[in-house]
Amino acid sequence: MNKIFEKGGKLYWLHSTVDAFETFLHVPGTVTLKGAHVRDAIDLKRILILVVIAAAPAALFGMWNVGYQHGLAMGQTGVHILEYFWFGFLKVLPLYLVSYIVGLGIEFASSQIRGEEVSEGYLVSGFFIPLIVPVDIPLWMLALAVAFAVIFGKEVFGGTGMNIWNPALLTRAFLFFSYPNYMSGSECWIAFKKGETAVADAFTGATPLALDGASAQYGTGFWDLFIGTVPGSVGETSVIAILLGACLLLWTGIASWKIMCGSIAGALLVGFIGQVAGITDIPCYMQLLYGGFAFGTVFMATDPVTSCQTETGKWIYGLLIGMLCIMVRLFNPGYAEGMMLAILLMNTFAPLIDHCVTSVHISRRVKRIKAA
């Protein structure tokens, strides 16, 4: 780093900002001066970049799907890959600009005020936020929600690695409870240009979860949901694109397979019970394709900061997320989703789960020692 940005230099007050960009573009050459330490070829920034790469397929497909859903609403036929993708890209780009400008602006300002290094965590959160909100959400609402999530959900706890709740989900929760009309309904999932309306009165932009059970089961087929050609949040519709990201996260060891498997098992269990009990006629395996379940399981529930740290705790944490998600869907008709609330609730109880698991393990070891 240039000496003018180092301590004693004229522009030292920009030290955190310059250091953030320098370490983002280059692997830092600093090492510990004494004591034992582990040499590793990867650091936090590189891990977060891999997470962004893993979410890229869902983002790219989501941009195309935004254009595709608009085309359907306008009565167009055909695939039109480039045309639809360009339309979706132009609609999603402002969401990314607001997400990163507002979020990083607060992060940089907080780091400069505290005289600390800029944390890297928002690199992923800022990428996720546009993927879990409606494409037509007003930008000022998104900016307000991002500011709330970063300030009250992250910075007040000490920044990256100290936050209790997932910042991206906290942004969505703020929007959902503050502006519910913009987060639900039949039109918020479709990007209309100014003055445009759907050509057919029968057209609906409601997500599959917003439909009744029979319509959700028979009106939207398995392959439509699996591929992702349905209305919904930008990055949550394509299960196959999300699975590509899951493969990368599992292969690199960044995400926990125990949390993913636990979430799936919990959802299948409650979904099966609901189906047998006659509460719903939707097959339990279809619950895995609806809404934000797949995206939440792969990218949100596995957040290493807000999830459980113990191995047994990861199973419990994932299982409860899947169970709670389907319970909300089955017993709360006013809120057809459930994944957001399930993950945020389990974020809150993750430290307690780890504490209980650790306490039980310690007590068992004490008993074995006394028995010996």
- Summarised one tens digit per residue, pLDDT across range 118-158 is 667 788 889 999 999 988 889 999 999 999 998 888 887 77
Q: Which of 234, 173, 230, 235 is nearest to 207 (CA)?
A: 230
Determine, yes or no, domain membership for 342. Answer: yes
The single-letter DSSP state of residue 337 is -
Q: How far apart are CA 144 and CA 129, in angstroms?
A: 13
* Residues whose CB falls within 8 Å of the CB of residue 136, separated by 6 or more in sequence, listed in order: 91, 182, 187, 188, 189, 190, 191, 192
Domain count for the chain: 1
pLDDT at 136: 87
Determine, yes or no, domain membership for 22. Answer: no
Determine, yes or no, domain membership for 176. Answer: yes
Q: What's the domain range around 337?
A: 44-194+207-364
Torsion on CA atoms 34, 35, 41, 46, rounded to nearest 10: -80
Residues counted in the chain: 372
Q: How far apart are CA 337 and CA 333, in angstroms?
A: 9
Give the Å distances, CA to CA, from 304 to 39, 105, 229. 21, 24, 31
pLDDT at 53: 93
Burial of 300 (0-12, 13-18, 19+ CB in 10 A): buried
pLDDT at 156: 79
Determine, yes or no, domain membership for 13. Answer: no
pTM over 0.85: no
Positions in the chain short of pLDDT 70: 1-43, 114-119, 184-189, 191-220, 333-334, 336, 372
Determine, yes or no, domain membership for 245. Answer: yes
Determine, yes or no, domain membership for 331. Answer: yes
Q: How far apart are CA 372 and CA 368, in angstroms?
A: 6
Determine, yes or no, domain membership for 3. Answer: no
pLDDT single digits (tens) 319-354:
999 999 999 988 886 676 789 999 999 999 999 999
Determine, yes or no, domain membership for 155. Answer: yes
pLDDT at 203: 47
